[in-house]
Structure 1
Amino acid sequence: MYPMMLSSSSPAMSLLDPLGFGRAACAYWVDTLQRGTLYLDVMRQRGNQYLEHIEKTKPNVLGFEAEVLVDGRELPRPVNYELLRILPPEGVEIDDQSRPFVVVDPRAGHGPGIGGFKPDSEVGVALRAGHPCYFIGFLPYPVPGQQVEDVVEAEIAFLRHVIERHPDVSEKPMVVGNCQAGWQIMMAAALEPDLFGPILVAGAPLSYWAGERGGAPMRYTGGMTGGSWMTALLGDMGAGLFDGAWLVQNFERLNPANTWWDKQYRLYANVDTEAERYLEFERWWGGHVVLGADEIQYIVDNLFIGNRLSTAQLVSSDGRRIDLRNLRSPVVVFCSQGDDITPPPQALGWVRDLYENTEDIIANEQTIVYCVHDTTGHLGIFVSGSVSRREHTEFTANMDYIDVLPPGLYETQVTSADKHADDDLIERDYLLEFQRREVADLDEVVQHRPEDDRRFATVARLSEINLGLYRLIGQPWVQAMASPESARFMRRMHPNRLGYRLLSDRNPLMSAVPVMAERVRRDRHPVDQDNVYRALEGVLSSGMSQGLDAWRQYRDGLIEQSFLMFYGQPMLQAMVGLQGDAHAPRHRPGAEPEHRRFIEQRRATTRAKLAEGGSHEAVMRSVIYVLGGAPASDERNFKRLRASRAELEPSATLADFKQLVREQFFILEHDRQAALEAIPTLLSGQGAEQIDAHLEHIEHVLAASGDLSAHAAERFERVRSLFHSARPGVEGGRSSAAGET
């Protein structure tokens, strides 16, 4: 089967090939043939796995056992979604009194299960933390006629069911939405904010117009195809169904070096060890699903091209405005600089779209936390084991702490615990730290350009024109010719699907491959890594990868320049009615008169509560003031506060405690001077020993983060004087404590 080789140690071979190049070439040639055979066999297994997977009624790549609780097909507005309860693996203990944890899987061309794909996944992290865990997945085909709104309503119904299963838990479920599921969950939370606990959106494109020059090439796709008429055409050719393989193909085109070379060469070069990992990933990557034509049209028109979600322009069929400012739960946005599908500007641009400044966020009672990873790719955000062990573990462990953060904008950083003092208060290997940010700080990430807004607005207008022309002229003909049979044939012949099928056992030409592969495994001769020809192979592979990457950069640059030049033409903008617009192309709802009236009403309500309450309010107000506007910069202070909550108010629940923190923060933000001067009034009726105990408690909490800064120490001295002025028998104490620090 392989070339005859003389023993490398034979005298004859040494005489004929004194430098060993011939022996190295012969060994490399044998290894190359064997690796090629084994590689082809892995491709055959991949094809078989694909066919087996797509022929299942409920394909799923979940790595955990689960039971179906609610079948979305039985809801009043039926959908192809399901609510599953994750059964904890052996040895994992679940605390039914813990906050429920719900992972919503993205339906963006691939099948369900990616959030629980590995033990080190979002689901695995939640289970190890003792949370009851639920999973919202989907079936490969939509229910006829289902709409995006139906799916949103189904997710709301699922969440109600989860809450009903935990009547004794006061905390609302934590909900995780990956990629497409992220913006879908945000829509649901905007409609029913009271059902949601903290929300984690990972790699979710909420503001599709946003992006930096030289990156985010997918945002130009709508403009380069003339709008969404192509989406409508593919949906019509699919007889009302849209093949998710088209979406997967778009993802693959973003990185041709990885798609066409690196991923395959990695398997070929390490075929003895990489096969299992490769097949495991391909089971999900190749599990293409189908969307309804109406669903994908809604998504492309309203989110990708229209950018209406991040600007509060979406309205449900029953007249409810889908405004993300309605959210009352903390929102954690996790994104990465290495993500070319949902770069940070698209994940965070919605904050800038909705809010003029941080005061706007606070007035809307929103807590927004963001974390920008340096390198991981799109899938790595919710699949990578290292990310799950670090960022997702910290997000999950700190959700109660995030829930108590006062409204505002925060950036998080994950640091090693051993770098901090009081590491005995840190329960894990890492510490999640929070820093207050302003909306203006996001400009460095979002890189907003008004002239680009006008370009994307031009795309949206032109898309409406082209879609209207297609529906008038082309759609009747396409729909008349399309049939379920032709749609199935088109899906089978899609290049992404056909590649799996051709390299499977259903192709007679592959019948000899498993026999040859078995013979290779019985007599495998892997070449050493220091073989000169194997080293040369690696160099050539790197050159191929770099060449494809250079071509990608040239292609993306050409697309960007073409887009900017074409849609930046004043004449084209005038033809679609934009040059004469008095308003900015990107709608900002925060500037509307109704919103300003809301803020004024919020201030009036807060003003009325300045002197309401007692010692609990005085202590919390003081802690927040000294720490500069937040109850803590990391989990250590929160742990102190939570542990001492019983001393302040034994009957208070964690939810009551969180409400107390938020309320006192609002009061300080509204009028700091008046809020501080009201502290002695809040302490009236307290004895000297009680007041001293309150001061001791405050000092204990403040010490959790180490020594106070000079400014914080000055603030604490002011608080101390205010407390002393409230002691019985003290006269004139309030006047001595006056003055802003």
Structure 2
Amino acid sequence: METAFVSADTGHRTQSRAPAYPWPALEFARQAQDYWIDAAQRSVLFLDMLRRRGNDHFEHIARTGPNVLSFPFEIVADGRGFERPVNYVLVRITAPPGTVTDPAKRPFIVFDPRAGHGPGIGGMKRDSEIGVVLKAGHPCYFVGFLPEPVPGQTVEDVCRAEAAFVDKVAALHPDAEGKPCLIGNCQAGWQIMMMAATRPEATGPLLLAGAPLSYWAGVHGKNPLRYLGGLLGGTWLTALSGDLGAGIFDGAALVANFERMNPANTLWKKNYNVYSKIDSEAGRFLDFEKWWGSPILLNAVEMQFIADELFLGNKLSSGEIRFSDGVRVDLRNVTAPIVVFCSHGDDITPPQQALGWILDLYDTDRELIAGGQTIVYSLHQSIGHLGIFVSAKVATKEHDEFTRTMDLIDVLPPGLYEAVFTEKTGATIHAELVSGDHVVRFERRGLDDIRALGGNDAEDDRRFATLARLSDINQGLYRALLGPLVRGLTTPQSAAWLRQAHPYRQRYAAFSDRNPLMGPVAPLAEHVRAGRKPVAPDNPLLGVQEAVSAGIADTLDHVRDLRDQATERFFLTFYGSRAVQAMVGLGASGSAPARRRMGRDRFREAAMAKSIATLEARVDQGGATEAAVRALLHIGLGRPHFGADERGFAMLRRIRQQEPGSRRFSLARFKALVREQYLLLLLDEERAMAAIPTLLDREPAERDRMIGLISRLAGATGEATEGTGRRMARVEALFHAPDGAGGAIEGRGRLGEPSSIAS
């Protein structure tokens, strides 16, 4: 019989032989004794770990600027000194020893979510968003925040501060190729989208990780979080919480809401996992709990805006939010590429909420392309919400590959794309052109691909609109009747006492050295460590323990499912009632759309029409470079899924490096060139291709060099189809025939008839 021991140096189990008893009953008695000794020791060590967690909590919140970053940094800008002060801070991340960053590369800025927890989750580990940015050689900055807000600060003030931070980073890297790339996790994702919509000229690509932008969206039987506002009639409870907090909203309430979503994990699985693996999991558990267990504060006006305008009002993607200067937050104004990373396993921000805003803005693919927006999305199959920006596996795959290919994303033509990752192997063609462990390809998708994910029908939208109106009524009643009394009885001292008395904080105080009853735990734990006797992994009682644990978790999951089903049934029934809808003034079914959509903008349409007219006049303007880019895009349109492969872009970069300085294009110039040539093909592919000989006649000496370049780039992926072969032959004929003779063009591109983007 083997007995397992844990090495004091490594914490791993080792095996040693123990004599087996000849009688089964005695053998089982010995196994039971071994198990109960181990279980008792694990219980003591687990209790000591809770004690250390409580102590870590109080030590962490006592710091001036608590965070969980594992990278050193220096402060670059402090938002508290701005004209409209906020509690946000911009810092420059210092690269660890052995890592070199290039100031000429595009800088990245990671924005952490202020949704109840403190800052640092995007750089808590070496394998993190910050870690992969530094590893790729990019300068990296981080926007965090202090635990208490500046009195009076608003969501608008934070947006303005973030724009100032972006301007500051851009000024620090004037020679960088490309504007700063912004990474926004969860709440920070919609925050930087609002900022970019009002300052589109300031930002480079935006990467939104688990960020909700379409708040009503979801599917029946899932996504119960979107129904919670309907249980108590809207956001009047948010107003009450702010008043009881003397103008401060406690982030512990948000964290507690997240925990209630998954009671099995909160009440059992998380703790059981570390209890059952106390010799190896304690350190990781304590590191995570330092972030999870230190809630921050928000101004009540900030939280009320988030609850009213976003989660219940769903006003972001409909363009109904306006800043104090009258500027409308219109997401169509964002000109930089938008990368959306979401997961089917995310129960806080499901794919429908991460991607549904696209359907709110655009009715057709042509409309999206004509609007000039480039949107890339990636759908993970299983990772949870926190894993999107915490998991090391995600960081070393998706975030790493997005970082490495961000320049390629920045030059993609307008449209909707999906990022497809294929593992690099020995059989990968031109593997030397792949920068990471996966080949990344951005394949053209359409709005129907987003619709296929599922979402609300018209009746669902009416239900959410009914809740929004009822919330306004209830909040108005609260403000008029109960609010004055609550504010009159509340003092800063009573508000502080309520925050400290929150059950979320009390659990840390109860299991810490502040509780005298925990006094004997530390010395007892030291005694246990000195005589630790882990049980053998094949002990049958361990199997019983695992079975009991699984039963408890399954029971809690079943209770959660029943709760969520009851919540959904109540929401669908009550807010789907015609009487309730009429009571709030929604009107008869079908009389008006309940879901507000982005309205038509005559100025935008006029500017678009003028831009298209100007573009059509440029079909025969340019030279050999324009002809080569046009030809490459024409070949790409022959593939089943038009898109871009990182290998072609890598080869283009190598060729660019070999070019004389006078011939090198900046990334911004190349981006403008690709977009212009792509739109010319969509307007009228036949006319655009027929003009290539005219472009080449201006630089006849470049014909052979350019056709050679096209051949190399078109073959970089090693993928050829019958359609691309015919198009390549057409291009060769055009480049070698000054009169343009080369046969008829096959097809009209991806959008149909000529001038389709103008229709």
TM-score, normalization: structure 1?
A: 0.95
Q: Structure 1 residues 426 and 715, CA, compared in 2 at 3 Å: closer, same or farther?
A: same
2:271 aligned with 1:259, yes or no? no
State the distance in 1 between where 2:533 and 2:747 align.
79
Letter in 1 for 2:410: D
Indicate conservation of the 8 Å contact 1:721/1:737, yes or no. Answer: no
Indicate conservation of the 8 Å contact 1:207/1:310, yes or no. Answer: yes
Q: Structure 1 residues 592 and 76, CA, compared in 2 at 3 Å: closer, same or farther?
A: closer
Indicate conservation of the 8 Å contact 1:141/1:290, yes or no. Answer: yes
1:460-475 matched pairs, under 5 angstroms: 460-475=468-483
- What residue is the counterpart of 2:6 in the other structure? none
- What residue is the counterpart of 2:493 in the other structure? 485
Determine helix, strand or coil for the equivalent of 2:453: helix
Structure 1 residue 654, shift from structure 2 partner: 2.1
**Alignment match of 1:219 (pick from 212, 215, 226):** 226
- What residue is the counterpart of 2:456 in the other structure? 448
State the distance in 1 between where 2:512 and 2:376 align.
47
Q: Structure 1 residues 105 and 485, CA, compared in 2 at 3 Å: closer, same or farther?
A: same
Determine helix, strand or coil for the equivalent of 2:216: coil
Indicate conservation of the 8 Å contact 1:175/1:200, yes or no. Answer: yes
Q: Structure 1 residues 27 and 657, CA, compared in 2 at 3 Å: closer, same or farther?
A: same
State the distance in 2 between where 1:481 and 1:465 align.
24
State the distance in 2 between where 1:568 and 1:22 align.
62
- What residue is the counterpart of 1:62 in the other structure? 69
**4+ runs of 1 displaced by more than 6 Å?**
8-11
Indicate conservation of the 8 Å contact 1:257/1:549, yes or no. Answer: yes
**Alignment match of 2:434 (pick from 426, 433, 440):** 426
Structure 1 residue 134, shift from structure 2 partner: 0.5
- What residue is the counterpart of 1:693 in the other structure? 705
2:543 aligned with 1:535, yes or no? yes
State the distance in 2 between where 1:488 and 1:596 align.
53
Deviation sequence 1:424-468 (CA, Å, 0-9, x none)? 221221111111011121011242322111111111111111110
Structure 1 residue 721, shift from structure 2 partner: 2.5
Structure 1 residue 632, shift from structure 2 partner: 5.0
Q: Structure 1 residues 129 and 536, CA, compared in 2 at 3 Å: closer, same or farther?
A: same
State the distance in 1 between where 2:19 and 2:348 align.
56
1:99-248 matched pairs, under 5 angstroms: 99-248=106-255
- What residue is the counterpart of 2:10 in the other structure? none
State the distance in 1 between where 2:285 and 2:561 align.
27
Indicate conservation of the 8 Å contact 2:404/2:435, yes or no. Answer: no
Structure 1 residue 479, shift from structure 2 partner: 0.4
- What residue is the counterpart of 2:87 in the other structure? 80
2:339 aligned with 1:332, yes or no? yes
Structure 1 residue 640, shift from structure 2 partner: 2.1
Q: Structure 1 residues 44 and 740, CA, compared in 2 at 3 Å: closer, same or farther?
A: closer
Moved more, 376-385 or 17-26: 17-26
2:682 aligned with 1:669, yes or no? yes
State the distance in 2 between where 1:605 and 1:382 align.
43
State the distance in 1 between where 2:108 and 2:645 align.
22
2:45 aligned with 1:33, yes or no? no
Letter in 1 for 2:343: S
**Alignment match of 1:572 (pick from 580, 601, 608):** 580
Structure 1 residue 23, shift from structure 2 partner: 1.3
Indicate conservation of the 8 Å contact 2:88/2:158, yes or no. Answer: yes
Moved more, 329-338 or 637-646: 637-646
Q: Structure 1 residues 9 and 111, CA, compared in 2 at 3 Å: closer, same or farther?
A: closer
- What residue is the counterpart of 2:4 in the other structure? none
Moved more, 26-35 or 103-112: 26-35
2:621 aligned with 1:602, yes or no? no
**Alignment match of 1:523 (pick from 527, 531, 534):** 531
Indicate conservation of the 8 Å contact 1:198/1:329, yes or no. Answer: yes
Structure 1 residue 740, shift from structure 2 partner: 4.8
- What residue is the counterpart of 1:4 in the other structure? none
Letter in 1 for 2:471: S
Deviation sequence 1:562-610 (CA, Å, 0-9, x none)? 1011111112112222224744222222656555445433322321221
Indicate conservation of the 8 Å contact 2:317/2:597, yes or no. Answer: no
Determine helix, strand or coil for the equivalent of 1:517: helix
Q: Structure 1 residues 583 and 723, CA, compared in 2 at 3 Å: closer, same or farther?
A: farther
Letter in 2 for 1:100: P
Indicate conservation of the 8 Å contact 2:105/2:177, yes or no. Answer: no
**Alignment match of 1:51 (pick from 58, 61, 81):** 58
Q: Structure 1 residues 675 and 9, CA, compared in 2 at 3 Å: closer, same or farther?
A: closer
- What residue is the counterpart of 2:364 in the other structure? 357
2:732 aligned with 1:720, yes or no? yes
Aligned-residue CA RMSD (Å): 1.9
Indicate conservation of the 8 Å contact 1:257/1:548, yes or no. Answer: yes
Determine helix, strand or coil for the equivalent of 1:141: coil
Q: Structure 1 residues 51 and 667, CA, compared in 2 at 3 Å: closer, same or farther?
A: same
Indicate conservation of the 8 Å contact 2:420/2:441, yes or no. Answer: yes
State the distance in 2 between where 1:165 and 1:603 align.
36
Letter in 2 for 1:46: R
2:730 aligned with 1:710, yes or no? no
Indicate conservation of the 8 Å contact 2:734/2:742, yes or no. Answer: no
State the distance in 1 between where 2:526 and 2:597 align.
64
- What residue is the counterpart of 2:635 in the other structure? 626
- What residue is the counterpart of 1:3 in the other structure? none
TM-score, normalization: structure 2?
A: 0.93
Deviation sequence 1:291-342 (CA, Å, 0-9, x none)? 1000000001011001111111111110001111101111100001111111
